[in-house]
Amino acid sequence: MALTQVSSNKCAGGFQKVFEHDSVELKCKMKFAVFLPPKAETDKCPVLYWLSGLTCTEQNFITKAGSQLAAKENGIIIVAPDTSPRGCGVEGEDDSWDLGTGAGFYVDATQEPWKNNYRMYSYVTKELPKLINDNFPADPNRMSISGHSMGGHGALICALKNPGKYKAVSAFAPICNPMQCPWGQKAFAAYLGPDRTTWEGYDHSYFFIYSFINDHIKHHAKFLNA
């Protein structure tokens, strides 16, 4: 798949770049940022995928978080995609800040008029990693995921739904229970339909913790017992 370089800046000994490509999943042009540490010039490096929150683009994290120095020191490639499709012409996508443009919620929409373009879950977990592995010195066996707010929710969902895919997951102030907040309810009703039984299914209680505690313990054990 063809990539077009949008920008490239020398940063922390490496390069902070932004690329654009035609997304198969989202059926639009998408931008993503990638930081290439100095180590990437000679070796394959692990990749940390960062998912940003509501209203963000690929720019917010790379210009505000100051992640590049730590990425250089640890030899990590950081990939930060946009948070939603843009310019798809979906009716209502630009009417509000918490639905549509800038608010993809990292789910695959099942409802009209969103389902053909708003497939951020598949984009983040399938299309984007393949694109990175094919075009950059990335080690496909060493990837992790993190994010903030809506993106924290996205990171947790991506990791929990794909055991073993990511070496680690973390989140800053994640929206852990979007079904119980107004803009989460608004987005999920639009993307996934009014029947709440087809949504994520878990609440904020210990029944939720019980359902996934084994995954967490196994995750920690891999590092603690290594």
pLDDT of 39-55, one tens digit each? 999 999 999 999 998 99
Would you say residue 20 has pLDDT above 90? yes
pTM: 0.84
Of residues 125 and 214, more confidently modeled: 125
b/e 110-144 (16+ beta carbons within 10 angstroms → b): eeebbeebbbbbbbbbebbbebbbeebbbeeebbb
Q: Which residues contact 195 (CB under 8 A, 6 or more apart)?
A: none
Q: What is the CATH number of the domain that holds 218?
A: 3.40.50.1820
175 pLDDT tier (thresholds 50, 70, 90): confident
| pLDDT value, residue 74 | 85
The chain-wide mean pLDDT, for the chain, equals 89
Range of the domain at 169: 4-224
Would you say residue 206 has pLDDT above 50? no
- What is the side-by-side order of every strand in the sheet holding 77-81? 4-11, 14-23, 28-36, 77-81, 45-51, 138-148, 169-172
225 pLDDT tier (thresholds 50, 70, 90): low
Q: How many domains does the chain have?
A: 1
- How distant, in Å, are the alpha carbons of 51, 101, 151, 204 from that of 192? 20, 16, 18, 20
Percent of the chain with pLDDT over 90: 62
Neighbours of 108 (CB within 10 A): 18
Would you say residue 57 has pLDDT above 90? yes
179 pLDDT tier (thresholds 50, 70, 90): confident
